[in-house]
Amino acid sequence: MPNPDGCFVQVWDAPNFSGAADFINGPRVYASLRDMPGSRRWDNRIRSIKVGPAASATLWADEQLQGTSVRLRTDSQYPRLTDVMDAQVESMQIECATAPDRLAAFTLPVR
């Protein structure tokens, strides 16, 4: 299930949001995608990805947040990863917007 606050990425093992899919929740550093919660493995499988409305993510080609990296924007869709990262992602960091950032439009002025 996705994080109800919108801090997640949804991943697929095929381009164009097809194939096996999963939600990866944040905020969290995933130094390896080999041993994910629930005994899932996403190392070298991610081929398309959607970023949740309160998340941003950085993908790395090597474990331990090393090697080539790609930064993904908040609330964005990537039907195909770049040639360098396509099915090459081995670690990931998901960052979340803070509550004040998301609620700023609803804040009333103090009198």
pLDDT (tens, 9 = 90+) of the chain, 111 residues, equals: 899 999 999 999 999 999 999 999 999 999 999 988 888 999 999 999 999 999 999 999 999 999 999 999 999 999 999 887 999 999 999 999 864 444 433 334 444
Contact present, 49 and 20 (Cβ < 8 Å): no
What does the pLDDT read at residue 38?
84
Domain-wise residue ranges, the chain: 8-98
How big, in percent rounded to 5, are the helix, strand and coil portions of the chain?
Answer: 10, 40, 50
Contact present, 49 and 78 (Cβ < 8 Å): yes
What pTM, to 2 d.p., does this model score? 0.85
The total of other beta-carbon atoms located within 10 Å of residue 26's CB is 23
What does the pLDDT read at residue 102?
43
Q: Which superfamily, per CATH, for 8-98?
A: Crystallins (2.60.20.10)
What does the pLDDT read at residue 82?
83
